[in-house]
Amino acid sequence: MTIKEAQEAVDQWVKTYGVRYFSELTNMACLTEEVGELARVMARKYGDQSFKKGEQPNLGEEMADVMWVLICLANQTGVDLTEELQKSFEKKTKRDATRHLNNPKLLG
């Protein structure tokens, strides 16, 4: 599924099952909540915390939840994520063409 297809699929799902998009502010709060859930799994899987007994973490599911709400926000604010991601690649490539290659902290 491409990003464009994902944006179209989320939009169709919202129109079919969700009645309408939540407000932008509500979706921003939801995005923050989903990022927090992802952070919790990351902290327990890769950090110093441990999972609670019986907890069944799903890193991919939490990432997908973040993407879902981000796509909702993009759709309702008229952002073409494919176009913006391409611009981001171009910006980072121009800005960081040699930055990381010359970073002694990364050369290890």
The token pair at 72 is: 């909702």
Q: How many domains does the chain have?
A: 1
SS (H, E, C) the chain: CCHHHHHHHHHHHHHHHHCCCCCHHHHHHHHHHHHHHHHHHHHHHCCCCCCCCCCCCCHHHHHHHHHHHHHHHHHHHCCCHHHHHHHHHHHHHHHCCCCCCCCHHHHC
Q: Show the domain range for 73.
A: 3-79
List pLDDT tens digits, range 42-62.
Answer: 999 999 999 999 988 899 999
- Domain membership flag for residue 103: no
What is the predicted pLDDT for the residue at 12?
98
What is the predicted pLDDT for the residue at 107?
86
- Domain membership flag for residue 13: yes
- Give the mean pLDDT per block of 10 residues along the chain (108 residues): 98 96 99 98 95 92 99 99 98 93 88
Looking up residue 30, the CATH number of its domain turns out to be: 1.10.287.1080
What is the predicted pLDDT for the residue at 108?
73
What is the predicted pLDDT for the residue at 56?
86
- Domain membership flag for residue 90: no
What is the predicted pLDDT for the residue at 27?
99
Is the whole model's pTM more than 0.85, yes or no?
yes
